[in-house]
A and B are shown apart, each in its own frame.
Chain A
Amino acid sequence: MAPHPEPGVFLERTSYRRRRLVDGLKVLPLLGAWMFMMPLLWSVDNTTMSGALVYIFIVWATLILSAAVLLVWLTRLRRASATHTPQDVL
C-alpha cells in the first residue's frame, strides 16, 4: 500500500475489496455444506474410517481458517477506511 495514496483511489479499492470479502463470507457456509456433504458420495468399500475422519477435520479446519482470515482482513480494511468513510460495512 502506498504511503500516501490518493483518497479517491484508495477508497474505491477498499470498498470494492470489502464487498468481495463479504461475498466470500457469504459463500463460505455454502462451500462448507457442499464439502461436508461430499462423504455421502463415497463408496462404502473404498473408504476407511480414518480417511473420512481426516477429511472431515481438514475441511473443518480450512473452513474455520478461511472464515477467520476473511474476518480479520475485513476488520482491518474497515479500520483503515474508517477515517474516510462513515459507512460501516461490518
Chain B
Amino acid sequence: MTSLNGLVAICLTYVALLFFVAFLAERAAARGQGGWLSAPIIYTLSLSIYCTAWTFYGAVGYAARSGMEFVTIYLGPSLVMIGWWWVLRKLVRIGRSQRVTSIADLISSRYGKSNSVAIFVTAIAVIGVTPYIALQLQSVTLSFSVFAEMDENSAPLDPGNSAFWVAFGLAFFTLLFGTRKLNTHDREHGIVTAIAVEAVVKLIALLAVGIFVVWGVAGGLGDMMARIDASDIGAWQVDRARWATLTALAGMAFLCLPRMFQVLVVENDNDRQLHMASWLFPVYLMLMSLFVVPVAVMGLELTPNANPDLFVLTLPLTLGQDGLAVLAFLGGFSSATSMVIVASLALATMVSNHIVMPIWLASRDQGATVSGDVRNVVILSRRLSVGVIIALGYLYYRYSGGSAALAAMGLISFAGVAQFLPAMLGGIFWRGATRAGALVGLAVGFAIWVWTLLLPSFGPDGVLPKSVLESGPWGLSWLAPSALFGIEGLDRMVHAVWWSLSLNFLAFWVVSMFTFPRPLERLQGAQMVNVFEHAGAAQSWSVTAAESEDLLIMAQRILGPQEARDLFRSEAKRQGLGASMAEPTPAFLQRIERELAASVGAATAHAMVSQIAGGPGISVQDLMAVADESAQILEYSNQLEVKSAELSRTARELRLANTKLTQLSVQKDAFLSQISHELRTPMTSIRAFSEILRDTDVLNVEDKTRFASIIHDETIRLTRLLDDLLDLSVLENGQVTLNRQQGTLGKILDRAIQSAHPSGPDPLTIQRRIDLEDIVLDTDLDRLTQVFINLITNARKYCDADKPCLRIEISSKKNQVFIDFLDNGAGIPESDQAVIFEKFSRLGDSDGSSAGLGLAICSEIMERLGGCISYLPDTGGTGFRVTLAKVHTFPVQ
C-alpha cells in the first residue's frame, strides 16, 4: 500500500519531471531547436486541458449517477472540432491577424477596441471560472484524502491545508514558466510542453484503468457488456432536454472558455495545427470517454458505498493495484494542474491587460510618452493576477465548504462563459453587431445566469432565501429562479441555459439592430467578418500628429529597447529611408499598435497609440474601402456624381443655347423692325410721288421728270437694299459657293479702285505701294474685290478731310497678308467701333443713301474666305485691316 508520504514523494517527483521537461523545452526553443514545439500534435495535445479533473474523475461519477449523459460533455466539443470549417477556421484566422490575446480582447477588439466591453467580459470570466479552479483544488485534495484514508499510519488529512499547498505549488509553477514572455503569441514553450506531457499521462492513466477494469476485473468485452446491462444504470434512461442542451452547451463552452480560447486561438500558429486537431482531438475525447461507463459500472458493483467521483482511484486501490492507482492519481493530478495553469494564465492576461494596465496607465499623468521600460510592470501585473486568481480559487474552495455545491460548478461555469457566444459569433459573422448590443446581450445573459444558476447553486438559504428560490422575490412567481415566466418543470440546467442564452441572443440582436456603431467598430467589424478577403489590416490611423521619437519611446517601454529599435529599423528600410528614423505613417502606426496589442491587448494598445497620435482619424474613405456595402455605396455615389456632372453640363449647354436663342430672337426682331423701316422710307416717297403723278393733271414736264427720277432713284435704292439683304442672307446661311481663283493682289485692287471710281471727278487720292502688291492670293477674287470696293467707297463717302486721301498698305507676316485701308478722316469714335460690323449700323449717314449693310457684308465675306476684317484704331484717321491667308510668297514672274 502506497503511503501518503510515498504518494507525496511520487507527486513531487512527477512535478520535478514536469519542471525538467519545461526547462528542456525552453532551452531548446532558446537555442532555436524548438520547431517541433509548434507541431500540430503538440497543439492537439494542448487542447486536452478541456479534460479537467472534473472530467477525469467526475465523468465516472456522472456516469454512475445518470448513465450516458456524461458523454454530451465530450460530444459537443467533438462536433465543434469536426465542424472546424464553420467557426474555428475563422476564429483562428482572426486571432492571428488581429493578434488577439484573450477572448475578452477579441470581443473588445471587435466592438471598437472598447475597454468597457473587455472589462465586462473579464469580470464574467473571472466569476465563472474561479469556482472551476476551486473544483480542481478540491479534486486533487480529495484524491489525496483517498490515499490518506487507506494509509493507517498517517493522520487524517486536513483538506484545507493540502489544498493550500496544491494551490501554492500550482501558482509557483505557473509563475515560473507561464509569465516569462510578454507577447502572448510567443508561445510559452515550457508550459505547452509540460501540458502536452500531462495530456499523455492522463490519457494513459484513464485507458490503463479502463483496460484493467474490462480485461482484468471483468472477463473481457462481452462480459463487460453483460455487466453494464445488468447494472443500476443498465436501462436506457436519458433526459432528452438535458441531452440536447448539454451537448450544445459543451460545444459553446468549448469555444468560450478562456483557457480553451487561449490554446485554441491565441496559441495557434498556423492552419495546419487546426487541421490535425480537427480530427485528432475528437479521437482524444473519444478515448477519454471510452472506459467511463465500464469503470462506473464496476465501481458500482464492487464498491457500492464509495464516492462514485473517485471510482477511478478507489477501484484499483480496492483491488490492490497500487501502481495503477498511483498512475490514476497522476492522471487526475495532471488534469487538475494543466487546467489551473492555463486557466489562471488566460484569466491573468485578461485581468492584467484590461483592468490593471488601463488603470496603471491612467494613474500616470505623463501618459504614454514617458520613457522607461514598462514591460516589467506588465509582467508583474500578470504575475500578481495569476496569484490573485489562484488565491481566489483557493478561498472559494475554503469558504464554499468544498461539497456538492462545487461538484455542480463545472456545468454552471460552462453556462456562464457560454454567455460570450452571441457577442463573439455575432461579432465575427455579422457586420451589424454593435458594442451596445454586445454589452446589453452580455448583461442580460449574465444576469439570468447569476439569478437562475449561480445563486441557487449555493443551496436553499445559501445566498437566496428558500422562499425566494421557490416563489420568486417579493412574491413575484414569474421571477422564481427555477421557473422564469412561470414555466415550471424544466430541469434547472436546461431552464437556465435556455433562458439566459436565448434572451442574450435576443437582446444582442435587437439592440444591435437599433443602435449605430462608431467608425472604429464598423472598421473592426468589416475586418473580422471579412477576414478571409482582407489579408492585411485596414488603416485606422489616417492623420498623425505623432513624432517618431515619441513612438519609439513608447514602443521601447512595451517591447523592450532592442526589439523596438529593430522594429523601427525594419520599418525605415521598408519606407526606403535607410538608416534614418522611420516616418510615423498610418501604416506604421497600425503596425506598432498591433505589436503592442500582442502584449497588452487591443484596447490598451489602441489607447496608448492614440495618446501619441492624437486619436484615430478614420476617414470615410477608409471605412468605405473595407466595407462591401460601403463599397457599393461608393460606387453608386460615383455613378451619381458622374451623372450629376453630366446633367449639369447638359444644363449649362442648354442654358447657353437658350441665351443664344433669346439673343437671336431679339436680333431677329430688331432686324425685322430695322428692315421694315428701311423698306418703308423709299416706299413712302415712291408712293407719294406716284400719287402726285397720277392725281395731278397739271404738271409741267420738268416736274414730271423730276418726280419720275425720284421714284426711279428710290427704286434703285430699294433694289440695292434688297440685293444687299439677299447677299447677306446667303452669306450668313453659308449657302454661298466660293469661286476660287488665283490672282495677284495688285490686280484685285486695280479692279476695285476702277469699280469704285465715280463718274465725276474724284476728290479722293489713293496712295498705293505697287511694288508690294505682287502677292498671289488663292481665293474668291470677285468677293474680295467686293470687300475692297466697299472699303474704298466708304472712305470716299465718309472721309471728311479737306484733301481726302486713302493709303493702302500691304504687310505680311508668316502666312498672312494684311491689307490696311487708312484714310485721313476723323475716324470712328471708340464707342461705335464695336458696332460698325453690325447690320444697319450707320454712322453719321444722314442722307440715308446707305443701308448700313456694307461692313456687315464685308465681315461675312471675309469669314467665308477664311480671313477677317477689323477696325484699326489710332491710325490718325479711319483704318480697316483685311487679313488673308496667302499661298505664295514669291512674286509672279
Contact = CB atoms under 8 A, between A and B. Distances in A.
A47 B282 contact: no
A53 B235 CA distance: 12
Interface string B217-260: 00000000110110101111110100110010000000000000
A39 B729 CA distance: 103
Contacts of B237: 44
B500 interface: no
A57 interface: yes
Contacts of B453: none
Interface stretch (B74-82, B147-155, B672-680, B845-853): B74-82
B279 A64 contact: yes
Interface string A52-82: 1100110011011001100100010000000
Contacts of A29: 79-80, 82-83, 86
A20 interface: no
B243 A40 contact: yes
Nearest to B237: A44
A71 B86 contact: no
A39 B68 contact: yes
Per DSSP, chain B at the interface is helix
Contacts of A71: 275, 278-279
Judged by DSSP, the binding face of A is helix
A49 B237 CA distance: 9
A53 B83 contact: no
A28 interface: yes
Contacts of B236: 39, 42, 44, 47-49, 51-52
Contact of B228 (A30, A39, A50, A63): A50
Interface string A23-52: 001101110110011011010100111111
B244 A28 contact: no
Interface in B61-111: 67-68, 71, 75, 78-80, 82-86
Contacts of A90: 271, 275
Contacts of B82: 28-29, 32, 63-64, 67
B290 interface: yes
Nearest to A56: B71
Contact of A50 (B78, B84, B225, B290): B225
Given A39-B238, A40-B238, A64 B275 contact: no
Most buried by B among A25, A44, A51: A25
Contacts of A26: 83, 85-86
Given A36-B75, A57-B286, A63-B78, A48 B234 contact: yes
A62 to B, nearest CB: 11
Nearest to A48: B229
Contacts of A61: 286
B283 interface: yes
A11 interface: no
Contacts of B15: none
Contacts of B247: 33, 36-37
B79 A67 contact: no
A47 B80 CA distance: 28
Contacts, number: 96
Contacts of A33: 79, 247
A44 B235 CA distance: 7
A28 B83 contact: yes
Given A40-B238, A49-B235, A57 B75 contact: no
Nearest to B67: A49
B286 A60 contact: yes
B593 to A, nearest CB: 27
B68 A56 contact: yes
Contacts of B238: 39-40
A75 B275 contact: yes
A67 B282 contact: yes
Nearest to B275: A71
B293 interface: yes
B429 to A, nearest CB: 14
Contacts of B67: 49
A25 B89 CA distance: 12
Contacts of A32: 78-79, 82-83
A57 B237 CA distance: 17
Contacts of A47: 236
Contacts of B283: 64
B286 A53 contact: no
A64 B247 CA distance: 17
Nearest to A40: B240
A26 to B, nearest CB: 5
A49 B290 contact: no
Contacts of B279: 64, 67-68, 71
A37 B244 CA distance: 7
A42 B243 CA distance: 13
B473 to A, nearest CB: 35
Contact of A53 (B75, B86, B228, B243): B228
A68 B78 CA distance: 13
Given A40-B243, A53-B293, A60 B235 contact: no
Contacts of B75: 36, 56, 60
Given A44-B237, A90-B275, A60 B86 contact: no
Nearest to B241: A40
Nearest to A46: B236
A26 B234 CA distance: 35
A42 to B, nearest CB: 6
Contacts of B275: 71, 75, 90
Contacts of A30: 83
Q: Indicate the member of A22, A44, A56, A67 with the most B CB atoms within 10 Å.
A: A67
A25 B244 contact: no
B699 to A, nearest CB: 112
Contacts of B86: 26, 29
Contacts of A56: 68, 71, 75
Contact of B290 (A44, A48, A57): A57
Given A48-B229, A49-B235, A90-B271, A67 B278 contact: yes
Contact of A63 (B68, B282, B293): B282
A53 to B, nearest CB: 6
A49 B293 CA distance: 9
Nearest to B231: A49
A37 B234 CA distance: 20
A64 B286 CA distance: 10
Contacts of A63: 78, 82, 282
Interface of B: 67-68, 71, 75, 78-80, 82-86, 225-226, 228-229, 231, 233-238, 240, 243-244, 247, 271, 275, 278-279, 282-283, 286, 290, 293
21 contacts: A22-B85, A26-B85, A28-B82, A28-B83, A30-B83, A32-B82, A36-B247, A39-B68, A39-B243, A40-B240, A44-B237, A49-B68, A49-B228, A49-B236, A51-B236, A53-B293, A63-B78, A64-B82, A64-B283, A75-B275, A90-B271
The 3 A-B residue pairs with the shortest CB-CB distance in the complex, in nearest-first order: A29-B83, A47-B236, A68-B279
Given A28-B83, A67-B82, 12 more contacts: A29-B82, A32-B78, A42-B236, A44-B237, A47-B236, A48-B234, A48-B236, A49-B236, A60-B75, A63-B282, A64-B82, A67-B282
